[in-house]
């Protein structure tokens, strides 16, 4: 079997476009998903049992089912229920945002919990009003502590986003698969596509441990 990687070069523009779609999709879902996850994380520590229950069901559902099913469900079932057609890209964003929200809410919840009782005692002893306790002491520490795990969540999302090719969104995976089918050169094309994912994900994953060490060193009281 002869390998000819120059084939891939012929399609570099298409691949670049696909990568751009993947990156856009990932970034949008990171921003929306983290915001949603933060709110859900707060909701799960709410005083209201109803709020806690609803947010728990949401999180457990999205953590406990395959992303591919979530994607299909949003893509095929949501339009039926809502009675509106959703563009592919929009359903991809909705699905991945909901997924990311569930995952990051756990990250935020854990980091909120990790701000110890002693910090609250100190706040009270200093007479800080509740609002200041939350905005100046608890949230900043919780967010700082959440950053390393959030970064890993983002790297996972970047990789999981390849699933949207299954509902016809022209991301890197989708384009790669098409080129591979049309050229009958799966080895060259899919290897290169895998490499592109790896080249982006790997340094990010490394950066996570670096950031983690720095933050932990800073927060070690």
Partner 1 sequence: MTMSFSPPLVKVESLHKSYGPNIQVLKGLDIEMKPGERVVVIGPSGGGKSTLLRVIMGLEKIDSGSITFGGKPYISSAGRDKKTIIDTEVRRSIGMVFQHYTLFPHLSVLQNLILAPCKVRGEKKEIAIKRAQALLERFGLAAKANSYPAQLSGGQKQRVAIARALMLDPKLMLFDEVTSALDPELVAEVEQVILQLAAQNMPMMIVTHDMWFARNIASRVIFCAGGAVVEDGPPEQVLGSPKEERTRDFIDRVFHIRQ
Q: Which residues of this chain interact with partner 1, rule CB under 8 A?
A: 118-119, 121-122, 124-129, 132, 136-137, 140-141, 144, 217-221
Least Cα distance to 172 among 16, 8, 10 occurs for 16
H helix intervals, the chain: 6-10, 12-43, 49-64, 67-72, 78-82, 88-114, 117-125, 130-132, 139-160, 172-183, 186-219
Smallest gap from Cβ 118 to partner 1, in A, equals 5
Nearest to partner 1 of 53, 126 (CB atom): 126
Smallest gap from Cβ 211 to partner 1, in A, equals 15
Scanning the structure block, which residue is given the tokens 């699905």? 95
Nearest to partner 1 of 66, 127 (CB atom): 127
Smallest gap from Cβ 214 to partner 1, in A, equals 11
Nearest to partner 1 of 64, 129 (CB atom): 129
Residues 6+ apart with CB under 8 A from 85: 79
Nearest to partner 1 of 4, 121 (CB atom): 121
Nearest to partner 1 of 45, 119 (CB atom): 119
- 8 A C-beta contact, residue 22 and residue 161: yes
**Rounded CA separation 176/198 (Å):** 14
Angle of the 49-64 helix axis to the 88-114 helix axis, nearest 10: 120
**Rounded CA separation 46/121 (Å):** 20
Own/partner long-range contacts of 73-79 (Cβ < 8 Å, ≥24 apart): 74/98, 75/167
Smallest gap from Cβ 106 to partner 1, in A, equals 22
Smallest gap from Cβ 116 to partner 1, in A, equals 9
Enter the DSSP assignment of 165.
Answer: G
Smallest gap from Cβ 131 to partner 1, in A, equals 9
Nearest to partner 1 of 3, 126 (CB atom): 126
């Amino acid at each position: 079997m002869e390998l000819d990687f120059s084939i891939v070069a012929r399609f570099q523009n298409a691949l670049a476009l696909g990568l751009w779609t993947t990156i856009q999709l990932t970034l949008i879902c990171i921003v929306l998903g983290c915001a949603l996850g933060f709110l859900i994380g707060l909701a799960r520590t709410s005083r209201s049992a109803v709020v806690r229950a609803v947010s728990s069901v949401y999180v457990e559902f999205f953590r406990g089912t395959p992303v591919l099913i979530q994607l299909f469900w949003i893509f095929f079932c949501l339009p039926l229920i809502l009675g509106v057609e959703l563009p592919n890209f929009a359903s991809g964003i909705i699905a991945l945002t909901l997924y990311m929200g569930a995952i990051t809410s756990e990250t935020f919840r854990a980091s909120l919990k990790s701000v110890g009782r002693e910090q609250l005692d100190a706040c009270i002893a200093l007479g800080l009003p509740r609002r200041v306790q939350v905005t100046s002491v608890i949230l900043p520490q919780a967010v700082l502590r959440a950053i390393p795990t959030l970064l890993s969540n983002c790297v996972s999302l970047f990789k999981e986003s390849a699933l949207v090719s299954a509902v016809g969104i022209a991301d890197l995976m989708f384009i790669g698969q098409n080129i591979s089918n049309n050229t009958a050169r799966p080895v060259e094309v899919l290897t290169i596509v895998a490499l592109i994912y790896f080249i982006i994900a790997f340094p990010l994953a490394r950066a996570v441990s670096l950031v983690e060490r720095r933050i932990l060193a800073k927060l070690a009281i």
